[in-house]
Structure 1
Amino acid sequence: MNELLSLTIRQIRELYAARKLSPLEYWQAVEERIEAFEPHVQALYLYNPESARAQASASTQRWASGETLGVLDGIPVTLKELIATKGDPVPLGTKAVDLVPAAEDAPIAARCREDGAVIFAKTTCPDYGMLSSGLSSFHPLSRNPWDLSKNPGGSSAGAASAGAASFGPLHIGTDIGGSVRLPAGWTGLFGFKPSHGRIPVDPYYVGRCAGPMTRCVEDSAIAMEPLSRPDWRDGTSLPPNDFHWLDFHIDLKGLKIGLMLDAGTGIGAEEEVKDAIIAAARLFEQAGAEIIPVGPVLTRAMLDGLDKFWRSRFWGDIETMSPEKHAEILPYIFEWAKRGAEVSGVEAVRGFNQTIEMRKTCGRLFTTVDAVISPTNPIVSYPAEWASPTNDPALPFEHIAFTVPWNMSEQPASSINCGFSKSGMPIGMQIVGPRFADQFVLRLSRAFEIMSGGVTRWPEPPAA
């Protein structure tokens, strides 16, 4: 791999400032990498190298004149396809949506442009972002760079594939039940779901947020400065913050960290996954933290209630579509969604109320601990062609039991690599903090990255 592609955002910016590297030269290295690896991973949508060259050239001029726009000036970035960019269609991962150009940039895209980032592509997602998979009726099948026969997870599937394939340092996904953290865990990336409202999103929905996916913690922290600027289009948008996002100082001594190895329902964590999390807990313990085994915050009733609520809500969105449009939706998704027609209004409200129960149990747990660590994903991997780890539309959410509660409680959570399976696949650890303690989660994540050594080797394209 071109050694430039292993650089962090900070290192890239230092080289730009010293005039030892230009944004155009760095982009050329990324472009060559994409040419070599993209045919295998199929992570990108609306990839536009010509536009990227023009953006990188403009950034090169700004760096030369000392008139840079922000911390992401000249940094190649991808945005998940669900994040609107002006003039581009938003297919939502499905053939069933008409391709109408977006009228304006969504908040995340606007912040990246304001900073001078080189937005070179959107990244793939499954139909309506409703799967943890790289499978889509619209996009080609996205694959995991660590093993092309395996799934990258989702719904930020392409973002994960692009990040692990070293298509630049920053990829931004969205997360409503784990869609940043799950694929980050399966591809070895650091994925950060901030407190809800910290990164404004449009359209907003209960549990929906967005976050950076990067190869190291520091790159995500750098991205948080522009991404966390408020935007009136998200009614939950938090006030301006004065965080020094790169202040990673933390004293682990005396911290109470809950160790959750049982999600309470869904797929149980595999032994290799448990072993990796326990080994990670020992590192925190050796640094002075108190590790406290904790029980789950999720129950079967909560997960089933959420399933009913989401089915009914999604069926309401697509019910009036023509039969021809219904036929274009990924069959797995449609089979799951059509059962929403059987959910009464009262049942849908009861299902939604289970999200409040999740908030309660999460809040109760954090009266006893400062942070929680757990598996991100319960299993090591699954086939690229599967729609989910169960591949069963009757059991669509069995794999999100560790991640989804923290969306409903609106707490910050990250996924960070904590080892590899015997088969060579990455294993992710989730780190959860109190609501609004985004910087605390980043500090814990960075501390673990230092203790563990982080990921030092990334996948290479198959030999020609």
Structure 2
Amino acid sequence: MTDDLCDLTARELVTLYGARRASPVDVMKAVLERTERLDPAVNAFCQLADDALDLARASESRWQRGAPLGPLDGIPVSIKDNISIAGLPTRFGSLATTPDIASSDSPCVARLREAGAICFGKTTLPDFAHKIVTDSPLTGVTRNPWDLSRTPGGSSGGAAAAVALGLGPIAIGTDGGGSIRIPAAFTGTFGFKPSFGRVPHAPRGPFGMLSHAGPMTRCVEDAAQTLSVISRPDSRDWYALPFDGADYVRGLSCQPVPRGVRIAYSPTLGLPLTVEPEIHEAVIRATTTFGGLGAYVAASDPPGVAHCNAIHTTLWRACCRQLTDDLSSGRATLDPSLQAYADAGNVISREALLGALIKRGELGAAVNAFFEQYDLVICPVYPGVALPLAGPESNGELFPHFTAWCNQLGLPAASLYVGMSATRVPVSIQIVGGRHADALVLWASHVLELAFGRAPFGELPRTLSAPETRATAV
């Protein structure tokens, strides 16, 4: 089999497995070979598992017996390095951690293993996932495969770059303010942040009230299939929603037709921000597409997004302070931008913190009422396309203006590719649903994917070279 296996979706690979036209061993070898060849330029991975081929052989045997564990059996999946894989260190992208071997899998990894998926490597992130670009003192700079002078976003930047390059068809990222959706938008991949608690996540740590684990893929169906697996219950997460056994792949075709669906569109979410014309046009084009299919569409800003962003600033700084307080040593090795967030958290009073949490609940009620009028919101993921590596983003000064409100309110949200910019980098839009409307957001994403197609990943080069991107781990 050839390197072309790396360009197939998980669904396409499973079809080949069932027809005996390819095996998990073929695919795993192809992914590892492409990773060895292309990853030095983009720096998407910080660790690879030694047992990947052994797991592929076990999966191959199950397929040969006609007894696969499910529709992800034998599919390579990468895992962001703030999620534990038993047998590998979990470094959180930070020199302040030690390379201790994890003794157990995090919930989503455990569910993927039970389904036969091959969790074959850990992807890069900024220091403790604290910012929306991916570079750290531990692993260095991660680059965007569409343009190596640009960032893939963060904090799940390594995951996004890996999927775009075909270094595994599925990645698991985390999102505390936009960390799945912004990298997905910058790389043209599909990123889905589930409702808060939909995917059990443990240990949650200082960012536990904001963080969501979710899939990053090349197509909506693969994300839906992954969500059906990783949303299965795990008692280690006290915040987890009751398990409802939803089949999110089936939901892609079982939701209502667009006629009757109520869509609000908002190019700025009511914020005083300048959105690049290509992003504005993408929002209008996506909305017009739904209108042409019979949906009701109207311009309307969800209430309180600016207030949500202010709350996010308060809570994020407080979380960073708690994180650094919990470190027994090593604060001096942290990214300076993380240290700055923690220092800002030191001046937040208990009254201000409690006030932010109370206001958060009030805004949640107002947004719940908004979603009684509308089923979905279409808006930007970020004001522009993938940013250059050099600039204020390197210092952690950028803010997830259009994404953080979904974390504050626990809303399901997706980043979906809709076209290429004049500079040949992806353009994406965000689809947001009301609380627990995960299936509806995935359905809407699938409708637009059928209309606009997927990113032209085949245009990405098969050979890459870039300046040295890795730092020296200690």
**Does TM, normalized by the shorter one, top 0.5?**
yes
In 1, the alpha carbon distance for the partners of 2:368 and 2:31 equals 43
1:70 alignment counterpart: 70
By how many angstroms is 1:9 displaced? 1.5
Residue pairs, 1:35-74, within 5 angstroms: 35-48=36-49, 50-74=50-74
2:470 alignment counterpart: none
Report if the CA contact (8 A) 1:255-1:289 is conserved: yes
Report if the CA contact (8 A) 2:302-2:370 is conserved: no
In 1, the alpha carbon distance for the partners of 2:305 and 2:290 equals 28
Superposed CA offset, 1:110-160 (max 9, x none): 111111111110111101111111111211311111101100011111100
In 1, the alpha carbon distance for the partners of 2:52 and 2:164 equals 20
1:448 alignment counterpart: 448
1:304 to 310, 314, 334: 310
Q: Is residue 421 from structure 1 mapped to residue 405 from structure 2 by the alignment?
A: no
By how many angstroms is 1:345 displaced? 1.4
Superposed CA offset, 1:174-195 (max 9, x none): 1111111111011001111111
2:147 alignment counterpart: 147
SS at match of 1:451: helix
Query: Aligned pair in 2 of structure 1 residues 211, 463: CA closer, same or farther (>3 Å)?
Result: closer
Q: Is residue 254 from structure 1 mapped to residue 260 from structure 2 by the alignment?
A: yes
By how many angstroms is 1:463 displaced? 5.6
1:319 to 311, 317, 325: 325
In 2, the alpha carbon distance for the partners of 1:59 and 1:206 equals 36
Superposed CA offset, 1:170-222 (max 9, x none): 00101111111111011001111111221110123112111100000011111
SS at match of 1:263: coil
SS at match of 1:77: strand
Greater mean deviation of Cα atoms: 10-19 or 306-315: 306-315
In 1, the alpha carbon distance for the partners of 2:273 and 2:91 equals 31
Report if the CA contact (8 A) 1:363-1:409 is conserved: no
2:213 alignment counterpart: 210
By how many angstroms is 1:104 displaced? 1.2
1:274 alignment counterpart: 280
State the identity as a percent. Answer: 36
Paired amino acid for 1:28: K
Report if the CA contact (8 A) 2:415-2:429 is conserved: yes
SS at match of 1:373: strand
By how many angstroms is 1:167 displaced? 0.7
Q: Is residue 292 from structure 1 mapped to residue 298 from structure 2 by the alignment?
A: yes
Report if the CA contact (8 A) 1:298-1:401 is conserved: no
1:221 to 212, 221, 224: 224
Paired amino acid for 2:30: A
In 2, the alpha carbon distance for the partners of 1:167 and 1:231 equals 28
In 2, the alpha carbon distance for the partners of 1:463 and 1:153 equals 19
Query: Aligned pair in 2 of structure 1 residues 27, 452: CA closer, same or farther (>3 Å)?
Result: same
In 1, the alpha carbon distance for the partners of 2:464 and 2:432 equals 39
In 2, the alpha carbon distance for the partners of 1:36 and 1:353 equals 51
By how many angstroms is 1:263 displaced? 2.7
Aligned residues: 457
In 1, the alpha carbon distance for the partners of 2:272 and 2:186 equals 18
By how many angstroms is 1:355 displaced? 2.6
In 2, the alpha carbon distance for the partners of 1:161 and 1:457 equals 11
Superposed CA offset, 1:72-123 (max 9, x none): 1110000110111123222111111233222311101111111111111011
Greater mean deviation of Cα atoms: 63-72 or 286-295: 63-72
By how many angstroms is 1:386 displaced? 5.0
Query: Aligned pair in 2 of structure 1 residues 260, 75: CA closer, same or farther (>3 Å)?
Result: same
Query: Aligned pair in 2 of structure 1 residues 87, 5: CA closer, same or farther (>3 Å)?
Result: closer
Residue pairs, 1:366-385, within 5 angstroms: 366-385=371-390
Report if the CA contact (8 A) 1:134-1:384 is conserved: no
Superposed CA offset, 1:43-91 (max 9, x none): 012113x421111111111111223222211100001101111232221
Q: TM-score with structure 2 length normalisation?
A: 0.92
By how many angstroms is 1:300 displaced? 4.0
In 2, the alpha carbon distance for the partners of 1:99 and 1:443 equals 41
* RMSD of equivalent CA atoms: 1.9
Residue pairs, 1:400-439, within 5 angstroms: 400-439=400-439
Superposed CA offset, 1:370-415 (max 9, x none): 1111111111121225573xx555x542xx1211111222121111
1:235 alignment counterpart: 238
In 1, the alpha carbon distance for the partners of 2:461 and 2:370 equals 42
Q: TM-score with structure 1 length normalisation?
A: 0.93
In 2, the alpha carbon distance for the partners of 1:289 and 1:64 equals 46
In 2, the alpha carbon distance for the partners of 1:306 and 1:115 equals 35
- Gaps of at least 5 residues in structure 1 are none
SS at match of 1:246: helix
Report if the CA contact (8 A) 1:265-1:298 is conserved: no
Report if the CA contact (8 A) 1:78-1:120 is conserved: yes
In 2, the alpha carbon distance for the partners of 1:39 and 1:317 equals 31
Report if the CA contact (8 A) 2:320-2:341 is conserved: no
In 1, the alpha carbon distance for the partners of 2:88 and 2:414 equals 30
Report if the CA contact (8 A) 2:38-2:464 is conserved: no
1:13 alignment counterpart: 14
